[in-house]
């Protein structure tokens, strides 16, 4: 697999995948801004609008194929889920990758210092150089921010339902999380095998959360956050607790103190294998969330750092 950074010339065409279902901005205004900035710069470009989320992955693969044939740059315009889908297609293609954030939290773009506005972000694409970004994998499915199983995917599903009813905002996301925790949750028994160690350990938890985003981990107070820059991911497990204790952990996370809680354990790793601790479960499917998107994946689950990076167009480090 290619490990050298792509070196598109200053006239490389830009292929934008715009998900009109992401974020709260007006999709027509976003599209007009992207096309205006690129046209004023005299840059060849192709903008593909996704109005059917179910087709996002197929469209992303098609766009990456066209960009690769022409030595182009692939850009994802949307929230973390859209960025994830396009990154899945870009990884290993040899194409440089750009991001125009349109989501609610935008952890990926904020971590890498990408502009929050569409106009500034589009202008950055014209001058930025590709820099390596670590990618997480679960059964070869990409995650740039986090992956999880157990309670957290349920939180995401409920959050999406609340957003459709009350709108997209961080306050709505927080409120939906509180309501989900108050309804109770199922506990998991998992066998974990870490970094090739054949002696598995058993873990009882309500949720297993795998972090690949330093900003998110720092915000909730996980001490392993700096290790993401050393080729590691961070695993976080919540020991079984009652509803009130779970709400207390939620508050600790909001104040950046989750990592110090007695009911929370965390550790860094490069690779772990996770298997539900029930006989006959191998090969069965389990619900997993990757960057806010829910999927059913076959067990065992293998979480690891991808052998090649994503080459992201972003500002030079300060």
CATH number, domain with residue 295: 2.60.200.40
* Digit-coded pLDDT (tens) for 237-276: 887 655 555 554 555 555 555 655 656 888 999 999 999 8
Alpha carbon distance 63, 60 (integer Å): 5
Alpha carbon distance 197, 21 (integer Å): 43
- Alpha-carbon torsion 154, 239, 181, 79, what sign? negative
- 157 and 273 co-located in one domain: yes
CATH number, domain with residue 61: 3.40.50.10330
In order of 212, 213, 215, 236, 266, the CA distances from 225 in angstroms are 8, 8, 8, 11, 10
Residue ending a domain, choose from 100, 127, 154: 127
Query: Which of 82-96, 153-167, 188-202, 294-308 has the lowest average pLDDT?
Result: 153-167
Q: 213 with 226: CB under 8 angstroms?
A: no
* Digit-coded pLDDT (tens) for 58-76: 999 999 999 999 999 999 9
The parent domain of residue 95 ranges over 14-127
- 84 and 164 co-located in one domain: no
- 146 and 122 co-located in one domain: no
Residue ending a domain, choose from 127, 154, 178: 127
* Single pTM value for the model: 0.84
Of residues 295, 285, 136, 150, the one with CA closest to residue 216:
136
Instruction: Determine how many CB atoms are found less than 10 A away from the CB of residue 287.
Output: 15
* Digit-coded pLDDT (tens) for 33-43: 999 999 999 99
157 burial (CB, 10 Å; 0-12 / 13-18 / 19+) is middle
- 55 and 120 co-located in one domain: yes
- 256 and 297 co-located in one domain: yes
Q: 150 with 205: CB under 8 angstroms?
A: yes
- 122 and 209 co-located in one domain: no
- 270 and 222 co-located in one domain: yes
* Digit-coded pLDDT (tens) for 169-209: 556 566 555 555 556 566 788 989 887 655 568 888 888 99
The reply to whether 314 falls in a domain is no
């Amino acid at each position: 697999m290619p490990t050298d950074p792509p070196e598109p010339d200053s006239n490389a065409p830009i292929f934008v995948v715009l998900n009109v279902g992401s974020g709260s901005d007006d999709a027509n205004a976003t599209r007009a801004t992207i096309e205006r900035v690129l046209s004023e710069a005299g840059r060849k470009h192709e903008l593909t609008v996704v109005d059917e989320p179910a087709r996002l992955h197929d469209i992303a693969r098609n766009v990456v194929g066209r960009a690769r044939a022409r030595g182009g740059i692939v850009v994802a315009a949307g929230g973390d889920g859209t960025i994830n889908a396009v990154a899945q297609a870009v990884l290993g293609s040899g194409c440089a990758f750009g991001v125009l954030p349109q989501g609610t939290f935008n952890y990926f773009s904020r971590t890498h210092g990408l502009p929050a506005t569409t106009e500034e972000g589009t202008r950055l694409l014209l001058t930025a150089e590709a820099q390596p970004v670590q990618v997480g994998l679960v059964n070869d499915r990409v995650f740039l921010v986090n992956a999880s199983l157990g309670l957290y995917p349920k939180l995401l599903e409920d959050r999406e339902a609340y957003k459709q009813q009350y709108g997209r905002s961080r306050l709505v996301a927080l409120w939906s999380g509180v309501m989900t925790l108050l309804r109770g949750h199922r506990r998991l028994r998992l066998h974990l095998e870490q970094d090739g160690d054949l002696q598995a350990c058993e873990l009882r938890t309500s949720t297993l959360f795998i972090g690949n985003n330093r900003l998110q981990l720092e915000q909730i107070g996980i001490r392993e956050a700096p290790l993401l820059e050393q080729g590691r991911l961070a695993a976080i497990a919540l020991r079984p607790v009652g509803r009130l204790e779970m709400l207390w952990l939620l508050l600790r996370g909001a104040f950046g103190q989750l990592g110090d809680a007695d009911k929370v354990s965390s550790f860094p790793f490069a690779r772990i294998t996770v298997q539900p601790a029930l006989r006959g479960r191998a090969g069965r499917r389990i619900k997993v969330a990757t960057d806010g998107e829910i999927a059913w994946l076959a067990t065992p689950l293998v979480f690891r750092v991808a052998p090649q990076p994503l080459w992201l167009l972003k500002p030079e480090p300060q």
